[in-house]
Amino acid sequence: MTGEWRKSSYSNPSGNCVEVAVLAAAPGDGLDRLRAAYPGWTFWRGQHTGSYWAMPRNAGELVSADSPEQLATYVANFLAEEAER
């Protein structure tokens, strides 16, 4: 993911303005197929770690993997388990 920082219109408990990251898909990061298949999820590749990351639509558990394929397997398993509930 690439992006920039901007000031939020919301303040933290101390009353100070907070900064938030504005994320955009990084071209050629290998995650376009996952983004298309799971539009409610956020996917990115860590610029410093090199790991692939995903966050479910409910902002639950943050997941990392060594490859987009591993990430795809995790997401598919997660959704299958969620459907069984």
1 has a pLDDT exceeding 50: no
The domain segmentation of the chain, as residue ranges, is 2-84
pLDDT value for 2:
45
Q: What is the pLDDT of residues 29-56, one digit of tens each?
A: 789 899 999 988 888 888 778 889 998 8
- Residue 31's CB: how many other CB atoms inside 10 A? 22
Helix (H, G, I), strand (E, B) or coil at 75: helix
10 has a pLDDT exceeding 50: yes
Structure-token match 């090199």, residue found: 50
pTM of the complete model: 0.66
pLDDT value for 50:
84
